């Protein structure tokens, strides 16, 4: 468990992180087919939706998770992490898709001589989770672990270098997006968490990791002239008794 291992490494509540790793995405049970891990190969339901609607469905799983947790009387600390684990982060894929569609619409509008004001702008806040940002070390760890684990599923032919780059990129992006500003993680904590994520992912993906091949030396040609006479040990000694004497 990524979150549990990282929490142990920095002295945070590892048990809470492990429990929240199970429950943080419970809201996806409401509309499971709209999330990548549950989609079939035949159909992606987002293909029939506008990016704004897709983002609404994705973002809603946090509130729906909190509602389920309250209904089943989960511990408040678990509920807090369910609510905080995406912070105010951006649903990047659908945001970029909306921007591309907007650019295409503007290009088409020029051809059709439409007014640019008639094409609605893409508002970034419409594609961000409502927060709050992680307030505790445990909440931040679960948030980072969720992002890293999700991204690791798309790694093709994972290598130690790719895993390290993935972990570093996600943590750097969360820091630059100010998602860790309200928790009490230190820079040392973040470094240790990154190291633990890399190690744990290496163990999780071990069977898939493409390690560099070790160079093998070509075998030294065998000199048959130096080969021992294998018959020496099987020859009868000169003084061996006749067979009939055995």
Tallying the residues shown for the chain, one arrives at 246
Of residues 220 and 230, the one with the higher pLDDT is 220
What is the three-class DSSP state of 17?
A: helix
Mean pLDDT for the stretch of residues 28-46: 87
Instruction: Of 200, 135, 185, give the one whose Cα is nearest residue 4.
Output: 200
Task: Indicate the pTM of the whole model.
Answer: 0.79
User: Which residues lie closer than 8 Å to 32 by C-beta, 6 or more apart?
Assistant: 38
Pairwise CA distance, residues 215 & 246, whole Å: 56
Backbone angles phi, psi at 229, to 5 degrees: -75, 105
Centroid of chain to Cα 228: 58
CB 80 within 8 Å of CB 139? yes
pLDDT at 237 exceeding the cut of 70: no
The alpha-carbon radius of gyration of the chain (Å, integer) is 30
Q: Which tens digits make up the pLDDT trace of 153-186?
A: 888 888 999 999 999 999 999 999 999 999 999 9
CB 208 within 8 Å of CB 159? no
Burial 43-60 (b: 16+ CB within 10 A, else e): eeebeeeebbebbebbbb
Q: Which tens digits make up the pLDDT trace of 176-217?
A: 999 999 999 999 999 999 999 999 999 888 765 555 555 555
Q: Which tens digits make up the pLDDT trace of 69-123?
A: 999 999 999 999 999 999 999 999 999 999 998 888 777 655 445 555 556 789 9
Centroid of chain to Cα 26: 18
Q: What is the pLDDT of residue 115?
A: 54
Q: What is the pLDDT of residue 118?
A: 55
């Amino acid at each position: 468990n990524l979150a549990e291992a990282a929490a142990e490494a920095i002295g945070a509540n590892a048990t809470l992180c492990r429990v929240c790793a199970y429950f943080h995405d419970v809201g996806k049970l409401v509309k499971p087919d709209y999330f990548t891990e549950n989609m079939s190969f035949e159909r992606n339901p987002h293909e029939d939706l506008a990016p704004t609607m897709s983002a609404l469905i994705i973002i809603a799983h946090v509130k729906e998770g909190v509602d389920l947790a309250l209904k089943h009387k989960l511990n408040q600390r678990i509920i807090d992490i369910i609510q905080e684990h995406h912070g105010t982060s951006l649903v990047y894929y659908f945001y970029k898709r909306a921007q591309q569609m907007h650019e295409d619409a503007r290009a088409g509008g020029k051809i059709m001589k439409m007014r640019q004001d008639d094409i609605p702008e893409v508002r970034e806040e419409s594609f961000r989770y409502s927060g709050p940002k992680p307030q505790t070390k445990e909440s931040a760890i679960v948030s980072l672990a969720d992002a890293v684990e999700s991204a690791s599923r798309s790694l093709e032919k994972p290598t130690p270098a790719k895993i390290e780059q993935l972990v570093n990129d996600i943590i750097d992006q969360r820091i630059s997006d100010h998602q860790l500003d309200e928790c009490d993680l230190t820079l040392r904590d973040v470094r240790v968490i990154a190291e633990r994520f890399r190690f744990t992912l290496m163990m999780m993906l071990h069977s898939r990791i493409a390690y560099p091949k070790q160079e093998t030396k070509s075998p030294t040609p065998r000199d048959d002239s130096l080969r021992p006479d294998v018959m020496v040990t099987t020859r009868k000694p000169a003084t061996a008794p006749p067979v009939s004497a055995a």
